[in-house]
Amino acid sequence: MQKIIDRFISYVIIDTESDPNSDTTPSTAKQWDLANKLVEELKAMGMQDVTIDENAYIMATLPSNVVHEVPTIGFVSHFDTTPDFTGKDVNPQIIENYDGKDIVLNAEQNIILSPSYFEDLLLYKGQTLITTDGTTLLGADDKAGITEIMTAMEHLINHPEIKHGTIRVGFTPDEEIGRGAHKFDVEKFGADWAYTMDGSQIGELEYENFNAAGAKIIFKGKSVHPGYAKGKMINSMLLASQFISKLPENEVPEKTTGYEGFFHVHHLTGTLEETVLELIIRDHDKDIFEARKELIYKMAAEINYHYAQQFGEDICIAEINDQYYNMKEKVTPVFHIVEIAEKAMMELGIEPLIKPIRGGTDGSQLSYKGLPCPNIFAGGHNFHGKYEYVPVESMVKATEVIVKIAELTAQK
């Protein structure tokens, strides 16, 4: 446990926030700080073929120690953290033997991590938790996954009596801004299949995820002196507000669960003459996903039709770009890779929680690039904010799952 704690903290104190407005890979130069550290650690522990390319994609190999033919498997995690909440100056707190009560993250600002609001905390009573200090995120998404992969590889190297085939390790930048797999060289990676260590609660095993798109809608207005504006002024901010009000009110993240999709408005900026609305569209069902996109276009068209005579041009411009698709289509034909992970958990006394991902991982894009890649728990909770925490025992179990998968895959 102490080795995992020390390793994890050494990663999260390095700021690796990604930037969606950057056109470089990685999107921020500071991601190189952790990337270079990981390369040196991989080499020091004895991994082979350790490489880092010009875009900070890291790959390494643990050679097979069996004589019979075994599929090459991979384990993948990302080292960036979300731009939605600061990951600078992370100051982790260690709570030993958690008593099931409120945890004061920051007394000065009265920031409390409470099981009355975050009920999952009670699952970990008596365990060791790592939390934030209430001013930053923690970075368990996905530095917990990196910690687990690194620790598992080190364990296999130090215990050659554990039989395994060739294992490939991959660490990526920019997953949090949807680009983690964009420049991942699947052919170079050379695995028959892989697992992302990027889930949450202990036991999670996921091979379904949302179909995802991002929408940007620009509203154009017309500025006229307010005293003489009747029949002439068009307020782009009010147009955006009206547009939002016409979206299905119950199809938002805070009112949906399971397989239910949603529209999520996440940015709105504007002036009287131009307002930009950004939202994401999510659904597990491909047909409903397409219908959601069509709804956006239809709403934009209705605005343009209404104002066509007055404005003389389109005043509502909708741009929608697909981001990733449901990996189920690519994983189902090779479902034994899910069954191996499920068996590994059961042999370790972990109850598998097979459920759809209400989001996406590198695994979804990798699956469509030819590398089937289900997702396994990394242990963290409340990602992307100051209430993030991870039980150390969950990271230990995730490490054991990696080792067990390697063992099971190598069995004749």
Task: Yes or no: say if 169 and 74 are a contact pair by the CB < 8 Å rule.
Answer: yes
> In this predicted structure, what is the pLDDT of residue 152?
98
What is the full per-residue pLDDT of the chain (412 aa) written as tens digits?
Answer: 999 999 999 999 999 999 999 999 999 999 999 999 999 999 999 999 999 999 999 999 999 999 999 999 999 999 999 999 999 999 999 999 999 999 999 999 999 999 999 999 999 999 999 999 999 999 999 999 999 999 999 999 999 999 999 999 999 999 999 899 999 999 999 999 999 999 899 999 999 999 999 999 999 998 998 999 898 888 999 999 999 999 999 999 999 999 999 999 999 999 999 999 999 999 999 999 999 999 999 999 999 998 887 777 899 999 999 988 999 999 999 999 999 999 999 999 999 999 888 877 788 999 999 999 999 999 999 999 999 999 999 999 999 999 999 999 999 7
Q: Which residue bears the tokens 């050659």? A: 160
Joined together, the tokens standing for residue 42 give 């991989």
> In this predicted structure, what is the pLDDT of residue 362?
86
The CATH number of the domain covering residues in 213-324:
3.30.70.360
- Tell me the HSE value of 184 on the side-chain side, using a 13 A CA sphere: 33
> CA–CA separation, 155 vs 140, rounded Å?
21
CATH 3.30.70.360 domain position(s) in the chain: 213-324
> In this predicted structure, what is the pLDDT of residue 312?
78
> In this predicted structure, what is the pLDDT of residue 308?
84
Q: What is the pTM of this model?
A: 0.88
By annotation, the residues acting in catalysis are: 80, 175
Query: For the chain, how big is the Rg over CA atoms in Å?
Result: 23
Task: Yes or no: say if 217 and 301 are a contact pair by the CB < 8 Å rule.
Answer: no
CATH value of 2-209+326-410 in 3.40.190.10, 3.40.630.10, 3.40.50.300, 3.20.20.140 = 3.40.630.10
> CA–CA separation, 336 vs 338, rounded Å?
5
CATH 3.40.630.10 domain position(s) in the chain: 2-209+326-410
Joined together, the tokens standing for residue 344 give 């590994």
> In this predicted structure, what is the pLDDT of residue 127?
98
> In this predicted structure, what is the pLDDT of residue 300?
96
> In this predicted structure, what is the pLDDT of residue 227?
92
